[in-house]
Amino acid sequence: QVQLVESGGGSAEPGGSLRLSCTANFTLDYYAIGWFRQAPGKEREGVACISGSGVTTYAGPVKGRFIVSRDNAKNTAYLQMNSLLREDTAVYYCAAEVNLGSLESPMCLDAQAQASRVPTADYWGRGTQVTVSS
Q: How far is CA 115 from CA 31, 49, 50, 101, in A?
A: 19, 12, 16, 24
DSSP three-state, residue 88? helix
DSSP 105-132: PHHHHHHHTT-S--TT--EE---EEEEE
Q: What is the pLDDT of residue 94?
A: 98
Q: What is the pLDDT along the chain (134 residues), one digit of tens a residue?
A: 899 999 999 999 999 999 999 999 999 999 999 999 999 999 999 999 999 999 999 999 999 999 999 999 999 999 999 999 999 999 999 999 999 877 889 999 999 999 989 999 999 999 999 999 99
